[in-house]
């Protein structure tokens, strides 16, 4: 306790006039680890004003200069990987090595975004009029992509750095200003990341980072008239945001229930390895985690045994020790997961391991013979608990996948490429992975959730395009 980390506005670090702070509880020790400022609505207003002014000048800054600054920030971010990773370990209990990877991946993402931006934004379009009936060639339309204005970026706790820069990079290269509202868990890592952009020398006011309670500034930010675009990743608060937001482009990624469909001819060792990696990396706290296994009955016993053997080898403990399974982010999250486990128990699921929990730490658990009447067949635990549903036909698997409210990713395991493509076409999800667990990266791939999983496509290229609008000038000849 003691020090309260400052928020970032108009190029400087400030203490909030509220005199209040928000505590960040370390998921492992369950003690307050850090404190951040509880910003007020007036402070948000001020930030919106400075962002608007800074954006106008930034939009006139040559594209190559914007790219140069982003490359600089990317390099500084990578230099700061150790202290930022340490924050991720303390704030969100991300295993030590994964925490470092998150920062390095973020630096790479920012560099790639700078390069992609100079290429795609360096091109415009010329249209001539006589292709449309009734026109002569007397009109020339010049169109190019121009920034939207001020982008509000709200990343989630599970990637407070990476899912912040995946919004910041595209916004900045496209000429927008930025207001970042980091998640409470992960806010200090995010502030440190912002510090790297500060050191890179971006103009003041262009990037701002406000911290505080969602109840105090959440709606105020998302409904603020100064916001020209919202890019949000998180839970179903995104649905509430999209209902309240004004007439601004929205990019939302709101979780998933990614299915893993396993056919009889699959490479079963590959399946088991991907179920463990896909279901249990970062203790299942990824929106692209495998969240339900839909497996053909004839191979289910073998795969369940293989997965059990692998789960027994996972290390369970503190993130500092780089344990495979670490405490989930909050006590309420652990309680929610436990609720799903108890429901499954009452309804007769087979427990492949004994359910074990200490504080926020939940031991990896595979639940076999899960049926559609159990909550865990449909809900997203966001924890190290994975249901297995045995199926008797591929259609049954596709049906379960498509009956979900979510539609982020999914995967199918088979050696028959024709079947794999047909199943992919039938699955109502943004992405289907063939013979691998779902994942967002590589970060330039499109990333889009269908249904309640979101709106607007992400991935570096799509995000840059999404954060622009088309401006046209028509030359009319006499
Ligand atoms: O949960 C956030 C989502 O974007 C997952 O990313 O890289 O773990 O597939 P990744």
**Ligand 1 pocket test target in 439, 449, 463 with most atoms within 8 Å of CB:** 439
Closest to 167 in 3D by CA, of 87, 249, 282: 249
DSSP conformation class of 166: H
Is residue 147 a contact partner of residue 174, using CB atoms and an 8 Å limit?
A: yes
Cα 286 to ligand 1 centre (Å)? 5
ipTM: 0.93
Residue-level pLDDT at 268 = 98
Question: Residues 84, 86, 87, CA angle at the centre, nearest 5°?
Answer: 65
Residue 35 host element (H or E): strand 32-37
Mean pLDDT rounded to a whole number for the chain? 98
User: Is pLDDT of 40 > 50?
Assistant: yes
Taking CA atoms, 243 is separated from 246, 250, 351, 406, 469, in Å, by 8, 11, 40, 18, 22
The answer to whether 253 is a known catalytic residue is yes
Is residue 165 a contact partner of residue 153, using CB atoms and an 8 Å limit?
A: no
**Ligand 1 pocket test target in 94, 157, 163 with most atoms within 8 Å of CB:** 163
**Mean pLDDT, to the nearest integer, of 328-334?**
98
Cα 411 to ligand 1 centre (Å)? 15
Count CB atoms within 10 A of the CB of residue 12. 11
Residue 387 host element (H or E): strand 385-391
How sure is the predictor about 170, in pLDDT bands with cuts at 50, 70 and 90?
very high
Is residue 39 a contact partner of residue 60, using CB atoms and an 8 Å limit?
A: no
- The alpha-helical segments, DSSP class H, found in 121-200 are 162-173, 187-200
**Mean pLDDT, to the nearest integer, of 9-34?**
98
- 55/37 Cα distance (integer angstroms): 25
| pLDDT single digits (tens) 375-406 | 999 999 999 999 999 999 999 999 999 999 99
Question: Residues 283, 436, 407, CA angle at the centre, nearest 5°?
Answer: 75
Taking CA atoms, 446 is separated from 115, 298, 465, in Å, by 17, 35, 12
**Mean pLDDT, to the nearest integer, of 215-240?**
96
pTM for the model stands at 0.98
User: Is pLDDT of 317 > 60?
Assistant: yes
**Ligand 1 pocket test target in 233, 274, 288, 380 with most atoms within 8 Å of CB:** 288
| pLDDT single digits (tens) 82-136 | 999 999 999 999 999 999 999 999 999 999 999 999 999 999 999 999 999 999 9
How sure is the predictor about 346, in pLDDT bands with cuts at 50, 70 and 90?
very high
Cα 253 to ligand 1 centre (Å)? 10
Cα 288 to ligand 1 centre (Å)? 5
DSSP conformation class of 377: G
How many residues in the chain?
478
User: Is pLDDT of 2 > 70?
Assistant: no
Provide the 3-class DSSP secondary structure of residue 250. strand
Catalytic annotation, pick one of 43, 91, 253, 380 = 253
In angstroms and rounded to an integer, the radius of gyration of the C-alpha atoms of the chain is 24
Q: Which residues line ligand 1 (CB under 6 A)?
A: 158-159, 286-288, 439-441
Ligand 1 atom index nearest CA of 281: 8
Ligand 1 atom index nearest CA of 438: 9
Residue-level pLDDT at 76 = 99
Place of tokens 């079963």: 268
Per-residue burial over 373-395, b if 16 or more Cβ lie within 10 Å, else e, is: ebbbbbbbbbbbbbbbbbbeebe
User: Is pLDDT of 446 > 70?
Assistant: yes
Place of tokens 């490479």: 267
Ligand 1 atom index nearest CA of 282: 8
- 406/409 Cα distance (integer angstroms): 9
| pLDDT single digits (tens) 255-274 | 999 999 999 999 999 999 99
- 234/155 Cα distance (integer angstroms): 7
**Mean pLDDT, to the nearest integer, of 165-171?**
98
How sure is the predictor about 1, in pLDDT bands with cuts at 50, 70 and 90?
very low
Residue 178 backbone zone (phi > 0: left; psi -120 to 50: alpha; other: beta): beta
Q: Which two tokens stand for residue 256?
A: 């998933």
């Amino acid at each position: 306790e003691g020090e309260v980390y400052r928020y970032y506005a108009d190029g400087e670090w400030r203490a909030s006039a509220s005199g209040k702070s928000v505590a960040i509880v370390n998921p492992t020790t369950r003690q307050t680890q850090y404190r951040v400022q509880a910003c007020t609505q007036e402070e948000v207003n001020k930030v919106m004003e400075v962002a608007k002014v800074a954006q106008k000048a930034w939009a006139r800054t040559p594209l190559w200069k914007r790219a140069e600054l982003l490359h600089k920030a990317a390099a500084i971010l990578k230099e700061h990987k150790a202290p930022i990773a340490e924050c991720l370990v303390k704030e969100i209990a991300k295993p030590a090595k994964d925490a470092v990877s998150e920062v390095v991946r973020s630096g790479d993402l920012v560099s790639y975004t700078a390069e992609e931006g100079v290429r795609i934004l360096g091109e415009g379009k010329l249209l001539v009029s006589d292709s449309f009936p009734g026109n002569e060639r007397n009109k020339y339309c010049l169109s190019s992509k121009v920034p939207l204005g001020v982008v509000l970026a709200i990343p989630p706790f599970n990637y407070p750095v990476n899912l912040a820069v995946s919004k910041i990079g595209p916004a900045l290269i496209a000429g927008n200003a930025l207001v970042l509202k980091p998640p409470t868990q992960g806010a200090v890592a995010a502030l440190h990341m912002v510090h790297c952009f500060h050191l890179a020398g971006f103009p003041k006011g262009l990037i701002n980072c406000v911290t505080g309670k969602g109840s105090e500034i959440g709606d105020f930010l998302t409904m603020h008239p100064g916001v020209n675009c919202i890019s949000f990743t998180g839970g179903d608060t995104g649905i509430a945001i999209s209902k309240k937001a004004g007439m601004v482009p929205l990019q939302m990624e709101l979780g998933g229930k990614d299915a893993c469909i396993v056919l009889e001819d699959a490479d079963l060792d590959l399946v088991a390895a991907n179920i463990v990696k896909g279901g249990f990396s970062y203790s299942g706290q990824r929106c692209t985690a495998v969240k339900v296994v839909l497996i053909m009955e004839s191979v289910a016993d073998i795969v369940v045994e293989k997965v059990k053997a692998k789960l027994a080898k996972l290390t369970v403990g503190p993130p500092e020790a780089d344990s495979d399974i670490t405490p989930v982010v909050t006590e309420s999250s652990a309680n929610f997961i436990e609720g799903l486990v108890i429901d499954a128990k009452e309804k007769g699921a087979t427990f492949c391991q004994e359910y074990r929990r200490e504080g926020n730490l939940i031991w990896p658990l595979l639940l076999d013979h899960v049926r559609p009447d159990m909550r865990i067949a449909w809900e997203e635990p966001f924890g190290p608990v994975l249901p297995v549903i045995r199926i008797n036909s591929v259609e049954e698997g596709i049906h379960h996948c498509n009956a979900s409210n979510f539609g982020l990713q999914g995967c199918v395991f088979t050696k028959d490429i024709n079947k794999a493509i047909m199943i992919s076409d039938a699955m109502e999800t943004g992405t289907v992975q063939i013979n691998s667990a779902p994942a967002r990266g590589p970060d330039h791939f499109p990333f889009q959730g269908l249904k309640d999983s979101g709106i607007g496509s992400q991935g570096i290229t799509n995000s840059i395009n999404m954060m622009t609008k088309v401006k046209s000038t028509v030359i009319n000849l006499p």
